[in-house]
């Protein structure tokens, strides 16, 4: 079984992001970049499936600039067998990414595609669902447990009322939730081995797909600072402030 893992290069989750001086976007100068945490969970799950004998090959893929090779090499160090970079300098929207991933899926013919449920930069939570729709594949989103047997993927997902278990036929799309697993750290020997694993670079122009953005960013700014709280001496004073200042009670 072959597993395809789309990943995304994002600002490291420990970094506090800042807008550029002209507020046209996020300032990425000298900022640490990393694999999107949900994508890292997807890589870990694929590696565990391979270690258990369910999968034979793991292919990591990303769409972005040449700098994204760093994150692909990290995926290779974590256990992926090979990687594909669809090179594009344009900031793409989920639909454009899904269209390109559809072309990669059709070329690679994986039995399972595992994606992070969302990226921590855009927070869109759209790519996996759109990819499933374009391919006509069944999908199971927000997976907190995943098992493969008899040509089916069984996924447990958290819903408002508790846990829901769904079964989908392969090939299928699965998106990962935080509770699916805890990603491992890449060991130094595996980091060294990753340098010699195959990484194919494919210009986005080769796909001849319309990825024209349909949304433009007008402004990126920090949220307003919250005002300091007020300590009140009595319950009556609290009620007075809630009633006359905050106007949240009558």
**Measured CA distances, 99 to 27, 37, 67, 130, 232 (Å):** 28, 23, 22, 8, 57
* Residue keyed to tokens 């829901």: 164
- pLDDT class of 213 with cuts at 50, 70, 90: confident
The pLDDT of residue 161 is 86
Q: Which residues contact 198 (CB under 8 A, 6 or more apart)?
A: 82, 83
Classify residue 82 by burial, with Cβ atoms within 10 Å: 0-12, 13-18, 19+.
Answer: middle
The span from the CA of 223 to the CA of 94, in Å, is 25
Query: Is the Cβ–Cβ distance between 80 and 39 less than 8 Å?
Result: no
pTM: 0.86
Dihedral sign for Cα atoms in the order 25, 27, 28, 32:
negative
Classify residue 167 by burial, with Cβ atoms within 10 Å: 0-12, 13-18, 19+.
Answer: middle
The pLDDT of residue 214 is 87
Query: Is the Cβ–Cβ distance between 179 and 120 less than 8 Å?
Result: no
- pLDDT class of 204 with cuts at 50, 70, 90: very high
Query: Is the Cβ–Cβ distance between 73 and 194 less than 8 Å?
Result: yes
- Span 203-216, average pLDDT: 90
Query: Which tokens sit at 117?
Result: 């449920």
The pLDDT of residue 58 is 97
Query: Which tokens sit at 130?
Result: 């759109």
The pLDDT of residue 90 is 85
Examine the pLDDT at 33 and tell me if it is beyond 90. yes
- pLDDT class of 165 with cuts at 50, 70, 90: very high
- pLDDT class of 4 with cuts at 50, 70, 90: very high
**For the chain, what are the domain ranges?**
2-218
Q: What is the pLDDT of residues 102-144, one digit of tens each?
A: 999 999 999 999 999 999 998 999 999 999 999 999 999 999 9
Query: Is the Cβ–Cβ distance between 186 and 72 less than 8 Å?
Result: no
Examine the pLDDT at 154 and tell me if it is beyond 90. yes
The hierarchical CATH code for the domain 2-218 is: 3.40.50.620
**Measured CA distances, 126 to 52, 93, 111, 132 (Å):** 30, 9, 21, 10
The pLDDT of residue 65 is 92
Looking at residue 150, the DSSP 8-state letter turns out to be: T
């Amino acid at each position: 079984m072959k597993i395809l893992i789309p990943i995304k290069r994002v600002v490291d989750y420990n970094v506090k992001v800042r807008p550029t001086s002209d507020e046209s976007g996020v300032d990425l100068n000298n900022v640490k970049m990393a694999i999107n945490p949900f994508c890292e969970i997807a890589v870990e799950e694929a590696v565990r499936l391979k270690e258990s004998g369910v999968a034979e090959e793991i292919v990591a893929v990303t769409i972005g600039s040449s700098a994204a090779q760093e994150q692909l090499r990290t995926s290779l160090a974590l256990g992926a067998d090979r990687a594909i970079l669809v090179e594009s300098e344009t900031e793409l929207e989920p639909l454009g990414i899904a269209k390109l991933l559809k072309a990669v899926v059709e070329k690679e013919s994986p039995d399972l595609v595992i994606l992070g449920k969302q990226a921590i930069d855009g927070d869109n939570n759209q790519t996996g669902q759109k990819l499933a729709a374009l391919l006509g594949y069944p999908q199971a989103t927000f997976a907190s447990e995943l098992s493969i047997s008899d040509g089916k993927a069984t996924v447990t997902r958290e819903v408002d009322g508790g846990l829901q278990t769904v079964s989908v036929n392969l090939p299928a799309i699965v998106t990962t939730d935080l509770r699916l697993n805890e990603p491992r750290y890449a060991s130094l020997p595996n980091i060294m081995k990753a340098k010699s694993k195959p990484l194919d670079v494919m210009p986005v122009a080769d796909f001849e797909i319309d990825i024209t953005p349909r949304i433009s960013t007008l402004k990126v700014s920090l949220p307003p600072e919250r005002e300091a709280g007020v300590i009140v001496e009595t319950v009556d004073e609290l009620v007075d402030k809630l009633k006359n200042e905050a106007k949240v009670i009558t």
